[in-house]
Chain A
């Protein structure tokens, strides 16, 4: 089954404790991205990657890191999480950046206390 898989689905952590949210797709998509969703603010892009070893900042990259060492995986790293990073995070992928559809993962709800 074609899908985008994020882990974990839910995470509660403490301020400053490094964490990684994984994202994996099995559709051989070139383009992957991370969004955060906050009430009243919609979906805001954090980082994106057009292909392996090619990443770039989105609209709200501060406090986040990503890597794209292989095509299928695009982890989101929070080196020192803070409470303002409490949010619902979505990973998405599409065949290329020009493809018509972005497939979203099931989401990761992160709480930083």
Chain B
């Protein structure tokens, strides 16, 4: 089955810096790659996603890039703010199959 590796497991940045979280996947048939944000004590919520026919997608301060050849995708957060502090999960899926999540990255943004 699909295997998703996520790095780093923790990431500390200063407010205003950029943050990058990287994921790799194993199955070249995967075609959907969402990112979820989970604030402390809350449920995961979708923040951005990308499909395999697109190389990059941006939504305000967050962007996701996908390299199908290398089988990796990344989340980029610019101008980080303290409210960006959370656990971020990447995931991958293949068509009708189900989401396989990475193990998560705890992002801490210090004022």
Interface residues of chain A, those whose CB is within 8 Å of chain B, are 33, 35, 40-45, 48, 50, 58-59, 90, 97-98, 100-102, 104-107
Contacts and interface: CB of A to CB of B under 8 A. Distances in A.
27 contacts: A35-B101, A41-B103, A42-B89, A42-B103, A42-B104, A43-B44, A43-B89, A43-B91, A43-B101, A44-B101, A45-B100, A48-B98, A59-B1, A90-B44, A97-B96, A97-B98, A98-B95, A98-B96, A100-B32, A100-B34, A100-B46, A100-B49, A101-B46, A102-B46, A104-B43, A104-B44, A105-B43
Interface of B: 1, 6, 9, 32, 34, 42-46, 49, 89, 91, 95-104
Contact of B100 (A59, A90, A101, A102): A59
